[in-house]
A = this chain, B = another copy of it.
């Protein structure tokens, strides 16, 4: 006699299955939605193109061969040793030089010798990097038509960033600094230095992940800024949001390189002004234990 029971129970079974299916469906949608929302709300300034290469689905192959740069051979090292007085004098002098650095958005079109830029880039290349991968490419744009195209891409994307992608608070923050999406300086400055991070390297044995590539490249940018300041050149450290793929295509860089920073470089415009900022005092940035 179980047969009559079946048709009787089916509406209940269907109802249970429907509730179950609906619950799973809802959870899936909720998970996806909260993931998207988190990305959009919490970190609107993170460029999709800056992700670290996980989207390339890197198959890292064990490298059997020793890289030329990474070898166990050690050599003596004798860095310069200064007296305490000399250390203090040098520390103070370098601080005073660096403390005069300001981000400048108004440039002179006065030419700057290419050899100076070469040395500045060489200096940036002395930076340490994770496992000595040196994961940086400095693209120096000096050709006027190319600068115009870089500007076009950046202004187009910046306008979208301002109007659509970024939150109102960010726009307020940046407005106080008088930044907007019109960036004349990209054509006026004699050089644009576009700093790419190499998220992986191509070895004969396959792709090799560059550990900590973003931190390494940012550190090298710090040394580059010091080198620029040391020769009296000015710049502004910019992060062209969402321009990476288009600029990479324009400059014909390979897919393992992602745009991290863009620095217009040159001499400052006559009568240049900067926001009246103050830096935090030492007591606010240093903790002694």
With an 8 A cutoff between CB atoms, is A1 at the interface? Answer: no
Q: Which of B91, B103, B275 is close to A72, meaning CB atoms less than 8 Å apart?
A: B275
Please tell me if the beta carbons of B21 and A38 are within 8 angstroms of each other in the complex: no
Cα–Cα, bound, A14→B80 (Å): 80
With an 8 A cutoff between CB atoms, is A160 at the interface? Answer: no
Cα–Cα, bound, A26→B69 (Å): 46
With an 8 A cutoff between CB atoms, is A264 at the interface? Answer: no
Q: Mark A169-183, 1 if CB is under 8 A from B, else 0.
A: 110111011100000
Q: Which of B92, B137, B232, B272 is close to A80, meaning CB atoms less than 8 Å apart?
A: B232
Chain A residues packing against B (C-beta within 8 Å)? 6-7, 10, 13-14, 17-18, 20-21, 24-25, 27-28, 31, 38-39, 42-43, 45-46, 52-54, 57-58, 60-63, 66-82, 84, 87-88, 90-92, 94-95, 98-104, 112-113, 115-116, 118-128, 130-132, 134, 136-143, 146, 167-170, 172-174, 176-178, 209, 211-212, 214-216, 218-227, 230-234, 236-237, 239, 251, 253, 260-261, 267-268, 271-280, 282, 285-289
Please tell me if the beta carbons of B169 and A63 are within 8 angstroms of each other in the complex: yes
Please tell me if the beta carbons of B227 and A95 are within 8 angstroms of each other in the complex: yes
Please tell me if the beta carbons of A91 and B230 are within 8 angstroms of each other in the complex: yes
Please tell me if the beta carbons of A277 and B130 are within 8 angstroms of each other in the complex: no
Q: Given A139-B287, A226-B226, 13 other A-B contacts at CB below 8 A?
A: A42-B54, A62-B169, A72-B177, A77-B268, A87-B232, A99-B123, A101-B128, A125-B280, A128-B237, A131-B173, A136-B285, A139-B289, A221-B222
Max count, chain B CB within 10 A of own CB: residue among A219, A224, A274:
A219
On chain B, the residues within 8 Å of A123 by CB distance are: 91, 94-95, 98-99
